[in-house]
Amino acid sequence: MGALKRKSESIGPSKRAKVAIRPSQTLYVNNLNDQVSRRLLKHNLYLLFSTYGDVIDIIIRPKMRGQAHIILESVTSASSAKAGLDKRRFFSKEMSVNYAKTKSRIVARAEDDTGGDIGIAEQKKVTDADEINEDVPGYES
């Protein structure tokens, strides 16, 4: 009779193996209090993360309960925000701050359009101004 293999020996590596995520400007924040309104949560996240650098955008979707993506101007400011705010209590819950797995659309568009020549904040201002100017009838640049 052969010895029976344990279940853990036959399966191999876990399905959710941790993959090293490269530092980026976009932070993924979870374990946020979902009882707080999205507007109040977004405002307070802006105030909290803006102490580490310029916040470009905060994305909180209705289906993303207790989660948010925060886009900062530079990787260094995102790294310092991650180091300073990970495991910090926020609205009576301990939030978790990590780098996002994928690049945000704003970052990708800024890198594609400019080749990385100008900052993301400047790129966002340019695209916002273009969108505003398109809505104004009779406005010509």
pLDDT tier at 5 (50, 70, 90 boundaries)? low
pLDDT tier at 109 (50, 70, 90 boundaries)? confident
CA distance 35 to 90: 12
Instruction: Please list, in sequence order, all residues whose beta carbon lies within 8 angstroms of the beta carbon of residue 138, skipping any fewer than 6 positions away.
Output: none
Question: Per DSSP, which regions of 12-134 are E strands?
Answer: 26-30, 55-59, 67-72, 89-90, 93-94, 96-99
**37-92 per-position pLDDT tens digit:** 999 999 999 999 999 999 999 999 999 899 999 999 999 999 999 999 999 999 99
CB 24 within 8 A of CB 110: no
What pLDDT does residue 6 have? Answer: 56
Domains along the chain with CATH numbers: 26-103 (3.30.70.330)
What pLDDT does residue 64 have? Answer: 87
pLDDT over threshold 70, residue 101:
yes
pLDDT over threshold 50, residue 139:
no
23 token code pair:
């530092």
pLDDT tier at 132 (50, 70, 90 boundaries)? very low
pLDDT tier at 12 (50, 70, 90 boundaries)? low
* Mean pLDDT estimate for the chain: 80
Helix %, strand %, coil % for the chain, to 5? 40, 15, 45
